[in-house]
Amino acid sequence: MLGCNGYDVIDMGVMVPADKILDTAEREGAHIIGLSGLITPSLDEMVHVAHEMKRRNMKQPLLIGGATTSRMHTAVKIAPQYDNGVMHILDASRSVTAVSTLLGKEKSVLLQKTNDEYEGLRQQFANKNKKDLIAYKDAIAAKEQLDWDNYIPTKPAVDGVQVFKDFDLGEIAKYLDWSPFFIAWEMPGRYPQVLSDEKFGAEATKLLGEAQKMVERIVNEKWFTADGVIGFWPATSNNADTITIEANGAEVKLESLRQQSKKAAGHFNFSLADFVMPKEKGQDYMGAFAVTIHGAKKHIDQFAAEFDDYNKIMVQVLADRFVEAFAECLHEKSRKEYWGYAKEEHLTNKDLIWEEYDGIRPAPGYPACPDHTEKHKLFDLLKVTDNIGITMTESLAMDPPASVCGWYFAHPKSHYFGLGKIGRDQLEDYAKRKGMSIEDAERWLSPVLE
């Protein structure tokens, strides 16, 4: 593949172990190495790669990018591991200038400038004011008290787990949300407004037309196989941050994290556990789901082999759109049918996108539940790997990449929120509840630690 300045680009693909990347880079005489990270555990993997590059005495600059990366994290955690240049690139389009400079005479000037800037960021990080946190026990006391006395939980129609194999792609296509599609193509603005945007409108309209043509082929020629699994179980909370699920005669404890920031009077410190009925109030229910798109890789590889980057990216982006649409579709069917707490719901796709329904489906890794390790429990409860073939890497990324999993909550007052930072007291309690060492808990929760 031809890249910047006529240099070759080797795209190693997704979820490649550090050793394989570095072996290939050394074998092929790479001039620059780039890493892209989607979820926070991949940030640790990047630190490891930088460390390995130093151990191997490598000389190439290391470029960092992707949704969860940041200049601060790069400066504080990754750059100190490697002396021959680490740079965070906010946006792929900026990598062209950076790469051109790194391949030219000005390389050492750019690396020195970056290093000075990162030194400043490290100082800033070291001096940053701690957030105003309240004690964990006070945060629990400031939980939202839902009116459980007047709430009658709906017993799910599906008892246990239900698997969906080769789900109708035409049905899923009705739930496609095009706004993130345009974000993936780096076109700002929501759909459909983006189509009439002064600057991007014409290009956006053309792109959408081509995407829709590919959607038709995906559906008619069955490029993808959509598999999903959902499950519902009796559940109660403990008035703090543990939800107990009863599955197959055994108790499974789901551990939540609680907002600990100091809030104005009358504002709550939320935790997902608040949305499940406390045990002394009675019996509630909870659900989970996992969905995946198989088959995209074959088409991605084929377009890559034809050096057709445009269609390669289009398939990737559409696989992501399909999996999100599948999650939306199963969530709606769950509310109306499989759980059945909203049998009368009648919403348009636009209403669904704006989440105008009762209940939520937070995904482990999202701001309300940033601990990716809870995915292990979800995978066990739904037997995700056996049922629909999703596997997890050591960094807890799911393969196929177009996969989503999460929890279902039904309470009409359940809502999304961002956890924010937590204190040492909550970290210690959480580690104990999870049976994890403090060091492990610190590693997995590092982005939310004070």
Rounded to the nearest whole angstrom, what is the least distance from the CB of residue 279 to ligand B12 in the complex? 27
Nearer to ligand B12, 277 or 331 (CB): 331
Rounded to the nearest whole angstrom, what is the least distance from the CB of residue 38 to ligand B12 in the complex? 5
- In degrees to the nearest 10, what's the CA dihedral of 370, 317, 189, 173? -100
Rounded to the nearest whole angstrom, what is the least distance from the CB of residue 140 to ligand B12 in the complex? 24
Nearer to ligand B12, 236 or 326 (CB): 326
Q: Which two tokens stand for residue 253?
A: 């404890």
Nearer to ligand B12, 274 or 320 (CB): 320
* Tokens 């008035």, located at residue: 239
Q: Which two tokens stand for residue 20?
A: 């394989």
Rounded to the nearest whole angstrom, what is the least distance from the CB of residue 62 to ligand B12 in the complex? 9
* Tokens 């598999």, located at residue: 227
Nearer to ligand B12, 170 or 367 (CB): 367
* Tokens 């539940």, located at residue: 369
Q: What's the half-sphere exposure (Cβ side, CA atoms, 13 Å) at 67?
A: 10
- How far apart CA 361 and CA 350 sit, in angstroms, is 17
Rounded to the nearest whole angstrom, what is the least distance from the CB of residue 324 to ligand B12 in the complex? 5
Nearer to ligand B12, 4 or 347 (CB): 4
- How far apart CA 350 and CA 352 sit, in angstroms, is 5
Nearer to ligand B12, 340 or 420 (CB): 420
Nearer to ligand B12, 40 or 236 (CB): 40
Q: What is the CA radius of gyration of the chain?
A: 23
Q: What's the half-sphere exposure (Cβ side, CA atoms, 13 Å) at 331?
A: 28
* Tokens 């490697």, located at residue: 82
* Residue number, nearest CB to ligand B12: 65
Burial 296-334 (b: 16+ CB within 10 A, else e): bbebbeebbeeeeeebbebbbbbbbbbbbbbbbbbbbbb
Residues at the contact surface with ligand B12, assessed by CB under 6 A? 34-36, 38-40, 63, 65-68, 89, 91-92, 95, 180, 183-184, 186, 320, 323-324, 363-367, 370, 397-398, 401-406
Rounded to the nearest whole angstrom, what is the least distance from the CB of residue 390 to ligand B12 in the complex? 8
- How far apart CA 412 and CA 335 sit, in angstroms, is 11
Amino acid at 325: A
Rounded to the nearest whole angstrom, what is the least distance from the CB of residue 403 to ligand B12 in the complex? 5
